[in-house]
A and B are shown apart, each in its own frame.
Chain A
Amino acid sequence: MKQNYWNTFSKGILKENPVLRLVLGTCPTLAITTAAVNGIGMGLAATLVLVGSNLAISLLRNVIPDRVRIPAFITIIAGFVTIVQMLVKAFLPAIDSALGIYLPLIVVNCIILARAEMFACKNPVLPSVLDGLGMGIGFTATLVAMGAIRELLGNGTLFGLPITSNLLPPMLVMILPPGGFFVFGVLVALSNRLAARQGKRPARDLSCEGCPARESCTGCDAASTPETETAPEAAPEEAKAAPEEAAREEAQGE
């Protein structure tokens, strides 16, 4: 039993790292990792929301009707985000201005909704809280690592302390948007390589598992089915056929 709890907690840190393995929450990952400190701020804020919402959703899992669960989850998450937003504004104004708009955007961070949908609404309270905590720590660790790499390369500092800035001119592009995509790409490649060594499959292109809309959505399927013979130029006719095509493919899949 204890082993189980430990697994629930620790899987989010490496094995199912939300950012590198499940590819969730890419927007904040790319946006705020211009400095390692921002990673800590964002990570902790998201962890607080994750633990709170997992706790609340797990407690309410038998009360919320299945059909309206997504709006209910979003409302619960938005409530916790508002609490965290007010706390950060009051006690850490510097972090608040560094994170800016990405703090309220925790509401639409797929990690949180994904854990609610995949875990908290099916499991008792204690595992749900542990799951939230583990996922939050995994998210924080990844953000800090990526923030540290970008800060060191792009600014020559680490947590604000000068490291190489006196020796080498920093590569500014690393803290600009292209650097975010690049460092993230390299990190995913690295984690895929490590996973492959252990015989696991690489991270998927885009995680639909966590997408709250996946039951009603055929967009991902339509987009993720391997390229057929239709060239992009054949767009107009295909555009109309796409939904039916996707539905058919789905039916075949089952």
Chain B
Amino acid sequence: MTTRLVTILLAGILTNNMVLSKFLGICPFLGVSKKLNTALSMSVAVIFVMLIATAVTWPVYALLLVPAGLEYLQTIVFILIIAALVQLVEIVLKRFLPPVYRALGIYLPLITTNCAVLGITILNFTDSLTFVESLCNALGAGLGFMLAMVLFAGVRSRLETSDVPAALQGLPITLISASLVALSFLGFAGVVG
């Protein structure tokens, strides 16, 4: 049981990295990775929302939609749950934990339409994981997102000072460096099943 959970966690972080091998959450990966601190805050917000979203969508799908034979409503129900949750989290944080809200609040609206969160909640069911395994999967994916963001923020801070050919300046060189970071993550292939 524990081995399985650790495997899921490590696979999420290394071999099946959400950004670098599943291409989920590319927008924040490219958009919010210019500075290390923004990259970190965004990742923390994503991990937080992912865990809550998984904790809510899993029971709703398994206990409500499946018994009622409404599996096809998955997409629409999940996105509405995530949108409502993000709003709720925002309100609660603003009221009770203002310091956390100041650090993470600005990223919360971005997360509603982040395909990583919807992606993970759907993947939990395509991989037919149990509730605990799903939470573990969400945590692993979130940590993997954080690892990719932090590493890439480091790469980009080096890019700022390097001499890039005119045609590649801006987005192209960012994508090509992302390709090299993804290449290094291929090295983890086969490490965890």
Contacts and interface: CB of A to CB of B under 8 A. Distances in A.
B6 to A, nearest CB: 24
B144 interface: no
Interface string B4-43: 0000000000000000111111110011111111101110
Interface string A164-207: 00000000010011111110111011001100000000111110
Nearest to B102: A243
Interface residues of A, number: 66
A218 interface: yes
B76 A78 contact: yes
A185 B26 contact: no
B96 interface: no
Contacts, number: 199
A7 interface: no
A239 B103 contact: yes
B59 interface: no
A82 B75 contact: yes
Query: Max chain B CB contacts within 10 Å: which of A213, A220, A242?
Result: A213
B172 A185 contact: yes
A205 B170 CA distance: 6
A223 B110 CA distance: 13
B31 A240 contact: no
Contacts of B182: 177-178, 180-181
Given A186-B172, A242-B38, A85 B72 contact: yes
Interface residues on B, range: 35 or more
Interface stretch (B47-55, B111-119, B128-136): B111-119
Contacts of B110: 211, 213, 217, 219-220
A213 B20 CA distance: 24
B63 interface: no
Interface stretch (A9-17, A37-45, A97-105): A97-105
A202 B168 CA distance: 10
Contacts of B88: none
Contact of B173 (A26, A71, A185): A185
Nearest to B160: A227
A31 B80 contact: no
B126 interface: yes
Interface of B: 20-27, 30-38, 40-42, 72-76, 79-80, 83, 99, 102-103, 105-107, 109-110, 112-115, 118-119, 122-123, 126, 153-154, 157, 160, 167-176, 178-180, 182-183, 185-186
